[in-house]
Amino acid sequence: MGIDAVLEDRPSASQRIREVPSHPDTVPLAIDDLTVAYQSKPVLWDIDLDIPEGKLVGIVGPNGAGKSTLIKACLDLVPKASGRVKVYGKAYSENRSLVGYVPQRESVDWDYPVSALDVVTMGTYGRIGLFNPVRKKHREEAMQALEHVGIGHLAKRQISQLSGGQQQRVFLARALAQDAKLYFMDEPFAAVDAATEQAIVGLLHELKEQGKTVLVVHHDLASVSQYFDWVVLLNMRVVNAGPTEEVFTRENLKATYGGKLALLDEAGQALRDSLR
Amino acid sequence: MSESGTLLADVLQVLLLQTHNTRTVVLSTALLGMASGLVGSFLLLRKRSLMGDALSHASLPGIAIAFLLMVKLGGNGKFLPGLLAGGTLTGLLGVGWVMAIRKKSKIKDDTAMGIVLSVFYGLGVAMLQMVSSVPEASAAGLESFILGKTASMVTQDLVLIAGVASLTILFSLLLLKEFTLLCFDETFMHSLGWPVQRVDTILLILVTAVTVIGLQAVGLILIIAFLITPAAAARFWTNTLSHMLLLAALIGALSGWLGSSISALYPNLPAGALIVLVAAGVFLFSMFFGGARGVLRRGWLHIRLRRRVGRQHLLRAVFELLEARGEALAGWPPNEPVKLEELLAKRSWSHGRLKQLLRQARREDHIERAPGSWVQLSESGFAEAARHTRNHRLWEMYLITHADVATQHVDRDADLVEHVLGVELVRKLEQKLTEEGVALNLPASPHLISKTVEPAS
């Protein structure tokens, strides 16, 4: 039995009667019924999520909860088994210019022979378009973005000669150069120094003030209520989502972190067995 | 005398491209070298170096099949474009298999390549044997695709090579931005909605083009070295992609030019081997002497840092010993001799290391000899010592007041970092600390300096 067939057979979830939500252009991100599976391993189940505009959203959950996968599914970087994602009312592929992305820092080889400015200029590539040349204007935009994150003086430095925090800032500057309305950031706070952490927090608030929406995969529970005004508690499914003060509670955290979701685990195992 | 005279004349004649045949051979291998340097750089940065190897080995059966087909159709079995087209086909088939194996199974890249490469090569060798027994035409010369033989090339072949090489160079320059992004951050490229797969395929086509047209000159076993070595050598000299590409193209061209020239002088030596040897020579030279990441430069930087750290530790140790005697007048202790045992007890130096440091300090005029096992700072040494100690304290203060570091952890960090503090940063520290009213003459150490054990006299 193929995976799609198995997923079609899911009880209740797809059968439950639900109003088909309409997503006006003002909702930065609307996720309906999203399921993602890597080969036979289910990662995200039945995600329904509407992110309001102008919020700093922390995506929180234990390791393997599918936090990065959620972002990647929104950006069409991993195939969806089911469901759909709308960015400002349209499919992501039609609204790419509104989205900025900060991947995990370890996802690239920092020994690559390019300068900090070169990397940030990549943020303007979406506007430049395929096969068109990079112009002075684009480099200047990239330079502004670098200065914005406080490392303009390192523009010509080769990226391997930057500290971890500086490398993270380069990635943030690249996303700024994308000049988006909705940002996805995959663990920007991972292994950075205190100064960079403060710089990132400052940047997040600036983006919020400009009415932009930022989704941040975050690991440090202690700083969640300080940094984010909206939280998504994730563990393969959305345990809860909403304003931080309402959702970020002891009980909800327990539901997110405590105890494996035995039922889903079992279902996953059955799925794997059926594919053997 | 006259013999070496003619040899020299021969060498010059070849190197300066004076005969028509060598001119075309040398020029086209040089162009090929440029193309392979460029394309090889991207292959290296994409961490797909061995892809070229699978490709070239997998081309052999295609060459044999093409020969057979062309003979059966009544044509010239050695029509080069036909042979190369056959090689391209099976070469790409081989690469396709590698990719399919990687995608569909849990077998890793290197294993998949090892399997495909040897299977296709084995098949190719067997087919060459079969082909050579075809009565209609002589297949002699086909085996030159294995090790390369420039001597068998005719002008049309060279024109083909030069043309394809030029196109390859043109395309890799036109797609510079796309290839750069592809090799650096594929995921980000995906998120922009760019056709990652298609750009990757174009890169593969360029690699294929260089590999296939290089088969005749360098041979399928060695072409991989021609692809990768110039790029790897160039990487030692620069941290800038455009410079790396330029340099790789130059090194490739140089290898092609020198290698095929030598081969023209000694026709028994296969050109492919010589080209690769020249490239390897440049690689070794770059590895040692490369200005950006060469072994010697790295070693030298390490030695210099070690020396600087050692010097600063010694001077500060003496200075702090003097301070500890508590006879300070107006902040600065008097410059007096200190005992070697005191110094040894202060840091974890071995006798040998301390002697080495003292020798170095004496050379730099920082200490003066004192009778017996005593040393004393010279005037300039004392000033240096005061300066280093001050920097060290400034840094410690900075860490404590600005970076939330527990006091007892500071000393180690400062040891590591202050040695690379520039003038600019020291100035900033002074400014910051002045604002906070810290005395700048010589702030007291913010932590307890360990008292040394008094040596028994």
Q: Is the pLDDT at B456 greater than 50, yes or no?
A: no
Q: Are residues B140 and B54 in the same domain?
A: yes
The answer to whether B98 and B113 are in contact (CB under 8 A) is: yes
pLDDT at res. B25 = 82
What is the span of the domain harbouring residue A251?
3-108+180-275
**Furthest CA-CA distance within chain A:** 58
Q: Could you report the predicted ipTM of this complex, rounded to two decimals?
A: 0.84
Contacts of A195 in chain B (CB under 8 A): 403
pLDDT at res. A2 = 47
Q: Is residue B183 part of a domain?
A: yes
pLDDT in tens, A200-236: 999 999 999 999 999 999 988 889 999 999 999 999 8
Contacts of A77 in chain B (CB under 8 A): 187, 190-191
Mean pLDDT of the residues in chain B = 82
Contacts of B404 in chain A (CB under 8 A): 194
Which candidate from A108, A126, A128 shows the least CB-CB separation from B184? A108
Pairing of strands A237-243, A230-235: antiparallel
Tell me how far the alpha carbon of residue A182 is from its chain's centroid.
10
Q: Are residues B347 and B206 in the same domain?
A: no
Report d(CA A245, CA B48) in Å as an integer.
49
Query: Could you give the number of structural domains in chain A?
Result: 1
Contacts of A101 in chain B (CB under 8 A): 188, 191
- Assign residue B395 the CATH number of its domain: 1.10.10.10
Confidence at B288, pLDDT banded by 50, 70, 90: very high
Q: Are residues B169 and B31 in the same domain?
A: yes
Which candidate from A114, A126, A131 shows the least CB-CB separation from B192? A126
Most confident range (mean pLDDT) of A80-84, B23-27, B69-73, B231-235 is B231-235
Q: Tell if the CB–CB gap between B184 and A103 is shorter than 8 Å.
A: no
Q: Is residue B244 part of a domain?
A: no
More reliable by pLDDT, A6 or A88:
A88
Show the tokens assigned to B186: 């594929």
Q: Tell if the CB–CB gap between B178 and A131 is shorter than 8 Å.
A: yes
Report d(CA B87, CA B123) in Å as an integer.
13
Q: Are residues B222 and B322 in the same domain?
A: no
Q: Is residue B450 part of a domain?
A: no
What is the span of the domain harbouring residue B179?
19-230
Q: Is residue A267 part of a domain?
A: yes
DSSP per-residue letters across B287-334? HHH-TTT-HHHHHHHHHHHHHHHHHHHHHHHHHHHHHHTT--BTTBPP
Contacts of B192 in chain A (CB under 8 A): 96, 125-126
Describe the crossing of helices B51-72 and B80-104 by its angle, rounded to 10 degrees.
140
Mean pLDDT of the residues in chain A = 86
Helix or strand holding residue A215 (H, E)? strand A213-218
More reliable by pLDDT, B6 or B457:
B6
- Assign residue B165 the CATH number of its domain: 1.10.3470.10
Q: Are residues B316 and B222 in the same domain?
A: no
pLDDT at res. A207 = 95
pLDDT at res. A256 = 85
The candidate with the shortest Cα–Cα distance to B355, out of B377, B336, B375, B379, is B375
Query: pLDDT exceeding 90 applies to what percent of chain B?
Result: 32
pLDDT at res. A126 = 92
Confidence at A154, pLDDT banded by 50, 70, 90: very high
Q: Is the pLDDT at A17 greater than 90, yes or no?
A: no
Q: Tell if the CB–CB gap between A107 and B185 is shorter than 8 Å.
A: yes
Look at residues B185, B208, B230 and tell me which one is the last residue of a structural domain.
B230
Q: Is residue A41 part of a domain?
A: yes
DSSP per-residue letters across B394-408? HHHHHHHHHS---GG
pLDDT in tens, B62-86: 999 999 899 888 878 788 889 999 9
Contacts of A131 in chain B (CB under 8 A): 174-175, 178
Q: Is residue A198 part of a domain?
A: yes
pLDDT at res. B241 = 94
pLDDT in tens, B366-410: 888 766 678 888 888 888 888 788 777 777 776 666 655 555 555
Q: Is residue A37 part of a domain?
A: yes
Q: Are residues B223 and B304 in the same domain?
A: no
Query: Could you give the number of structural domains in chain B?
Result: 2
Confidence at B337, pLDDT banded by 50, 70, 90: confident
Report d(CA B143, CA B219) in Å as an integer.
9
Q: Is the pLDDT at A135 greater than 70, yes or no?
A: yes
Q: Are residues B52 and B195 in the same domain?
A: yes
Distance from CA of B143 to the nearest CA of A (A): 39
Interface of A with B in 143-202 (CB under 8 A): 158, 160-161, 174, 194-195
A119 contacts chain B (CB < 8 A): yes
Query: pLDDT exceeding 70 applies to what percent of chain A?
Result: 85
What are the strands, taking DSSP E only, across A97-211? 99-102, 182-186
Distance from CA of B103 to the nearest CA of A (A): 11
Q: Is residue A137 part of a domain?
A: no
| For B245, nearest residue in chain A (alpha carbons) | A113
Q: Is the pLDDT at A11 greater than 50, yes or no?
A: no
Distance from CA of A52 to the nearest CA of B (A): 22
- Assign residue A66 the CATH number of its domain: 3.40.50.300
